[in-house]
Amino acid sequence: MNRTRLVVRLVAMLAVAGASPAQAQATGKLKIGLMLPSTGTYAALGNAITNGFKQYVAESGGKLGGREVEYFVVDDESDPAKATENVDKLVKRDQVDVLVGTVHSGVALAMAKVARETNTLMIDPNAGADELTGLLCAPNFFRTSFSNWQPGYAMGEYVGRKHKSAVTLTWKYAAGQQMVDGFKEAFEKAGGKVIKELTLPFPNVEFQPFLTEIAAIKPEAVYVFFAGGGAAKFVKDYAAAGLKNSIPLYGPGFVTDGTLEAMGDAGQGLVTALHYADGLDNAKDKAFRAGYMKSYQSPPDVYAVQGYDAAQLLGAGLAAVKGDASRKDDLIKALEAAKIESPRGPFSLSRAHNPVQDFYLRKADGRENKMVDTVVKGLADPARGCKM
Ligand code: PHB
């Protein structure tokens, strides 16, 4: 074949393959919308997720599925009232290919609504709202974190082996309510009784009246969900009220992840359950931690892991469609089938797109939530109401 005929043949082959707009798009930058808090009580959580996500992308040469990545960033302030406007900026104005976010369950519910209505792929690297992989489960929605039920249930199993009565206290919104519900389900199944459920509005930190009430009730145990700055303040107030040595305090590991330094002595010895711990014995975690320390000069926490895994999951899906995010059905199939080699240990996704994962018992020691034991292996959210 001479040169001219070869060129003609190649051009013809390309025409048959059909250089569609989607393929043209598959060669440009992949637009990722990061909707996370960078201000407010969950600011540190949002930053850790961003760091983890970017670490994986950097390890992959700045690309996912062979495509260079471009970030569009919105600070959602963990404010549900601004959520729809914020997500619209990413979907309608910036026209991102993928939405990644967020931390706060109420904000994530609003975000997922827009994602559903516009058929935009959404990967949730934290917010645990049970509905997102339950009643509201959807083909375009994936989670690399947990459902609120999961850590609550794991902690309830453990506390149920040790105590018969408990008082719960949390912020009154989806995450707090659902982490208490999961706790109560397992705790009462084990023969315990939740004798009082206390709440205060998010993100209030006036804990004094609640501490007075807990001291008067004298339960065998206290279970709380707070995170970020609010968690640090609560644990310090609990110790200052003299309760730390009289009524054992438990919670999902969010209470002590990324907050131990701020808690000082008050946080030492706290026992929590979570799908991540310091001192896990796996090579992936060791490499991840070394990389994170090098990039950010601080140790990673569960939020960094969840962000890293969001990028890993997206990368696995995009690799299967050679970076062409417009091949939605194939992309979704690949995401569903992905096996994630996470720093937390390997996990796969349930049919509702939520991680099926181990929950660890951890004990706060210095700045670490040290791995003590596995509380529940391969815990799957019940995905109540999911019809997928
Ligand atoms: C949530 O709102 O779903 C949430 C927030 C912070 C956490 C965990 C869950 O640490």
- pLDDT tens sequence across 84-108: 999 999 999 999 999 999 999 999 9
Name which residue sits closest to atom 3 of ligand 1, judged by CA.
127
- Give residue 11's pLDDT: 41
Residue for token pair 């569960």: 302
- Give residue 18's pLDDT: 42
- Give residue 26's pLDDT: 63
Q: Would the pLDDT of 17 be above 80?
A: no
**Centroid of ligand 1 to alpha carbon of 50 (angstroms):** 15
Q: Would the pLDDT of 30 be above 80?
A: yes
Mean pLDDT to the nearest integer, 363-369: 97
- For residue range 60-77, what is the model confidence (pLDDT) as tens digits? 999 999 999 999 999 999
- Give residue 13's pLDDT: 47
**pLDDT mean across residues, the chain:** 94
Tell me how far CA of residue 88 lies from CA of 114, 205, 212, in angstroms.
Answer: 8, 31, 44
| Of residues 6, 34, 18, 156, the one with CA closest to residue 90 | 34
Q: Would the pLDDT of 35 be above 50?
A: yes
- Give residue 12's pLDDT: 44
- Give residue 331's pLDDT: 98
Mean pLDDT to the nearest integer, 203-217: 98
Q: For residue 141, what are its two tokens?
A: 């929605």
320 CB within 6 A, ligand 1: no
Q: Would the pLDDT of 229 be above 90?
A: yes
**Centroid of ligand 1 to alpha carbon of 347 (angstroms):** 20
Task: Please give the sequence-ordered ranges of beta strands (E in DSSP) within the chain, or none if there are none.
Answer: 30-36, 63-64, 67-75, 98-100, 121-124, 141-143, 165-171, 193-200, 221-225, 249-252, 271-274, 339-340, 347-349, 355-365, 368-379
DSSP letter at 91 equals I
Q: Give the atom of ligand 1 at the shortest distance from the alpha carbon of 129.
A: 3
Please tell me the pTM assigned to this model: 0.93
Total count of residues recorded for the chain: 388
- For residue range 231-280, what is the model confidence (pLDDT) as tens digits? 999 999 999 999 999 999 999 999 999 999 999 999 999 999 999 999 99
Q: Give the atom of ligand 1 at the shortest distance from the alpha carbon of 106.
A: 2
- Give residue 22's pLDDT: 44
Q: Give the atom of ligand 1 at the shortest distance from the alpha carbon of 42.
A: 6
Higher pLDDT, 3 or 145: 145
- Give residue 24's pLDDT: 43
